[in-house]
Amino acid sequence: MSRTPVTQQPRPTTGESLEMKWVSKLSRGYTPGGVPSGLGILADTDHLRVQQTLDTLGVGCNTNNTYTLSNKAKEKIFEAEEYTSCCSRFWCGPARRFDMAIKNEEGEKILHFVRPVRCDACFCCCCLEKIMIQTPMGDVLGYVKQKWTFCGATLNVLNSEEELYYTIKSPACPCRCYTDLFFPIEDDQGEEVGMIRKQWGGKKLYANMDHENYVIEFPEDADIKMKAIILGGAFLVNYMYFEMT
């Protein structure tokens, strides 16, 4: 296979505030290569933490999921909000269609993820999982699409021309509880170059098990656009395996 040349942090302990300060230097101007305004900070980011906000844990059908995205220093760099109808949440559950907006400090949308309704049957080889990563203006940056396999799942990370850059591999039997789960990101030689790690946050008496807490470790050679696409893939992994509402 030829490859185009590359030209839910843990929950806070008692007394630790959930509030994060924004990184003030982000989202000014445009990045090279037509990347949307606001994504330039990803150039220096090799590690993202994604955490569902407490006020949307175990929400009803009228409340959308929201997430905080932070860097290694626990500085908030983005927010994410899902837009889904009540009927979709009720009837389709985690297989539902959704639009996900990634927002900057001013609440401006800088990325848009679109996932169609999918079949979540284990052995279904049609209607496979996929997500499209767009700019707010509708320009496609890339896709993450499932390739059917008999055991576990393989997600292809594709650019806007649907050229393969990476694959994300799932465990054969992912478990939601009591352990971290690892979804390696591999290059075209099958070498692990990055990771999506779902973190087990511990048993909580005040919330159900539907809470999302994971870390994305980007490949060293990934550019800004590819990091945005991998971020979309991380949300797809979340809804495939861990979303319960």
Where in the chain are the domains?
32-241
Phi and psi angles of residue 116, each rounded to the nearest 5 degrees, phi first: -75, 160
pTM of the model: 0.79
- β partners of residue 112: 101, 134
- β partners of residue 84: none
Q: Which fold has domain 32-241?
A: Tubby Protein; Chain A (3.20.90)
Buried b or exposed e, range 151-164, using 16+ CB within 10 angstroms = eebebbbbbeeeeb
**What is the structure's pLDDT at 225?**
93
* Helix, strand or coil, per DSSP, at residue 21: coil
**What is the structure's pLDDT at 160?**
94
Spatial separation of the C-alpha atoms in residues 10 and 16, rounded to whole Å? 12
Of the candidate ranges 41-50, 118-127, 177-186, 219-228, the one whose mean pLDDT is the lowest? 118-127
Residue 19 has pLDDT above 70, yes or no: no
Where are the strands (E) in 9-97, listed by range? Answer: 47-52, 66-70, 76-83
Residue 28 has pLDDT above 80, yes or no: no
Amino acid symbol at 241: Y
Spatial separation of the C-alpha atoms in residues 53 and 125, rounded to whole Å? 34
Please provide the average confidence, as pLDDT, over all residues in the chain.
78
**What is the structure's pLDDT at 20?**
55
**What is the structure's pLDDT at 203?**
60
**What is the structure's pLDDT at 168?**
96
Residue 6 has pLDDT above 50, yes or no: no
> No. of H helices and E strands in the chain?
2, 12
What average pLDDT does the segment 71-81 reach?
92
What average pLDDT does the segment 23-46 reach?
65
More confident of the two residues 172 and 32: 172
Q: What pLDDT band is residue 68 in, cutting at 50, 70 and 90?
A: very high
| Stretch (H or E) spanning 26 | none
Of the candidate ranges 28-32, 34-38, 46-50, the one whose mean pLDDT is the lowest? 28-32
**What is the structure's pLDDT at 2?**
46
Residue 18 has pLDDT above 50, yes or no: no
Residue 172 has pLDDT above 80, yes or no: no
**How, if at all, do strands 76-83 and 47-52 pair?**
unpaired
Spatial separation of the C-alpha atoms in residues 124 and 181, rounded to whole Å? 23
Residue 210 has pLDDT above 80, yes or no: no
What average pLDDT does the segment 18-36 reach?
50
**What is the structure's pLDDT at 218?**
97
What average pLDDT does the segment 40-64 reach?
77
